[in-house]
Amino acid sequence: MSFAPALRAELIKIRTLRPLLWGLLAVLAATVAFSALAGLDDSADPDFDPLFSAFFGVSFGQIAAITFGAQAVSAEYQGGALRVSLAAVPGRGRWFLAKTVAIGAPALGIGLVTGVAGLVVGTSVLGSRADALTWAEELRGVVGCAVYLMLMALFAAGLAAVLRSGVATLSILIPFLLIVSFVVGNASGSVADFLPDKAGQTVLHETWDGALGPWSGLAVTALWTAAALGAGAWCVRRRDA
């Protein structure tokens, strides 16, 4: 089977597995809901960042994104599904590439919708506190939100291919992301700047004072994702189905 039919087959799997669809919708719901709640906080904070406040919910939406990516891959290791997939697509590298695109494309699509919805709701709740944002900053936030959520979904997909378990993947990533975001999230200028979520979320800030800028931060997250996918592809090619 060539790449195009393999991709269509993987997209059908995504479309027909209800938990995966619910996972994508949860990305939108969680991000918008928590962005709205963050905007309701009108406490006087000298470091207030209206752009990050509007996209604050991404810290929670990313949990749904990694769940989507992990489940999409781990489902192949249940009930011998991977053997069936590889019987149809004997080229393991081609199959894993199709799986990766089938995960990344809808994650990017829902990320764009989430970015627009999060911005509209977040700035509406912030009211006049968001007036200082420029259209360029808002556009950067929307695009950055979409790319970041896609990268995190693919990062989880690569790790799930290594671990062969969605539960194990989420057991590692969810505590890791929560610790990074809420415990060392303010430790700018340190190694924390180069962790996948801290680096990628720089694009959601109006200003930044760490080692990375918006796009270099996303590039660091992309490198983490590439490493995870590379390890996942190696495991798929080398291990028995």
Question: Which CA distances in Å does 237 have to 25, 57, 83, 86, 93?
Answer: 32, 37, 13, 11, 7
Name the DSSP letter for residue 55.
T
Total domains, the chain: 1
**64: domain range?**
3-238
Q: Distance between CA atoms of 78 and 74, rounded to whole angstroms?
A: 7
Question: Which CA distances in Å does 129 have to 51, 117, 229, 234?
Answer: 10, 18, 40, 49
Q: Which amino acid, residue 214? A: P
Q: Distance between CA atoms of 131 and 138, rounded to whole angstroms?
A: 11
Residue that is written with structure tokens 């590692």 in the block: 172
**pLDDT, tens digit only, all 241 positions of the chain:** 678 888 998 999 998 888 999 999 999 999 999 988 887 776 666 678 889 999 999 999 999 999 999 999 999 888 778 888 888 888 888 999 999 999 999 999 999 999 999 999 988 988 888 888 899 999 999 999 999 999 999 999 999 999 999 899 999 999 888 877 667 656 555 677 888 998 999 999 988 877 788 999 999 999 999 999 999 999 988 876 5
Helix/strand/coil (H/E/C) assignment for every residue in 175-229: HHHHHHHHCCCCCCCCHHHHCHHHHHHHHHCCCCCCCCCHHHHHHHHHHHHHHHH
The pLDDT score that the predictor gives to residue 179 is 78
Q: Distance between CA atoms of 24 and 61, rounded to whole angstroms?
A: 9
